[in-house]
Amino acid sequence: SHCNRILSTGMIFNQADQEVRDTGYHRHAFNVLISTRLGYHRELPDTRDSQCRDKVYPQALPSASVVICFFNEAFSALLRTVHSVLDRTPPYLLHEVILVDDHSELDELKDDLDRYVQEELQGRVKLVRNQRREGLIRGRMIGAAHATGEVLVFLDSHCEVNQAWLQPLLAPIQKDSRTVVCPVIDIISADTLAYSPSPIVRGGFNWGLHFKWDPVPTSELNGPGGGTGPIRSPTMAGGLFAMNRKYFNELGQYDAGMDIWGGENLEISFRIWMCGGQLLIIPCARVGHIFRKRRPYGSPGGQDTMAHNSLRLAHVWMDEYKEQYLSLRPELRERSYGDISERVALRERLQCHSFRWYLDTVYPEMQTVANGNKQQPPLFNNKGLRRPKVLQRGRVPELAAHIL
Ligand code: UDP
Ligand code: MN
- Report how far ligand 2's centroid is from the alpha carbon of 338 (Å): 27
Choose the residue to mutate in 30, 71, 160 for probing ligand 1, maximizing ligand atoms within 8 Å of C-beta.
71
What atom of ligand 1 comes closest to residue 155's alpha carbon?
A: 15
Positions in the chain short of pLDDT 70: 1-8, 370-404
User: 5-291 sits in which CATH class?
Assistant: alpha beta
Give the CA distances from residue 376 to residues 17, 162, 333, in Å, rounded to whole numbers and listed in that order.
Answer: 54, 48, 21
pLDDT digits (tens, 9 = 90+) for 293-342: 999 999 999 999 999 999 999 999 999 999 999 999 999 999 999 999 99
Tell me the C-alpha distance between 234 and 215, whole Å. Answer: 12
pLDDT at res. 368: 77
Tell me the C-alpha distance between 265 and 254, whole Å. Answer: 9
> Please, what is the angle between helix 305-317 and helix 264-274, to 10°?
20
DSSP labels for 364-398?
TT---BSS--SSSPP-B----TTPPP-S---PPTT
Nearest CA to ligand 1 atom 25: 404
> Please, what is the angle between helix 305-317 and helix 341-349, to 10°?
40
Radius of gyration (Cα) for the chain, nearest Å? 21
The pTM assigned to this predicted structure is 0.91
**For the chain, what are the domain ranges?**
5-291
70 within ligand 1 shell (Cβ under 6 A)? yes
- Report how far ligand 1's centroid is from the alpha carbon of 121 (Å): 23
pLDDT at res. 123: 86
Tell me the C-alpha distance between 241 and 239, whole Å. Answer: 7
Non-local (6+) Cβ contacts of 179 within 8 A are: 172, 173, 277, 278, 279, 280
136 within ligand 1 shell (Cβ under 6 A)? yes
pLDDT at res. 226: 72
**Ligand number, closest to the Cα atom of 300:** 1
pLDDT at res. 222: 76
| CA-wise closest residue to 329 among 316, 313, 310 | 310
- Report how far ligand 2's centroid is from the alpha carbon of 379 (Å): 36
- Report how far ligand 1's centroid is from the alpha carbon of 388 (Å): 35
> Would you state the torsion angle of the CA atoms of residues 234, 240, 244, 246, taken in this order, to the nearest 10 degrees?
100
156 within ligand 1 shell (Cβ under 6 A)? yes
What atom of ligand 1 comes closest to residue 72's alpha carbon?
A: 11
Angle at 220 between CA 218 and CA 224, to 5 degrees: 110
Determine how many CB atoms are found less than 10 A away from the CB of residue 24: 21
- Report how far ligand 1's centroid is from the alpha carbon of 297 (Å): 9
pLDDT at res. 220: 85
Nearest CA to ligand 1 atom 14: 136
Q: Is 349 helix (H, G, I), strand (E, B) or coil?
A: helix
| CA-wise closest residue to 263 among 392, 137, 111, 107 | 137
pLDDT at res. 389: 33
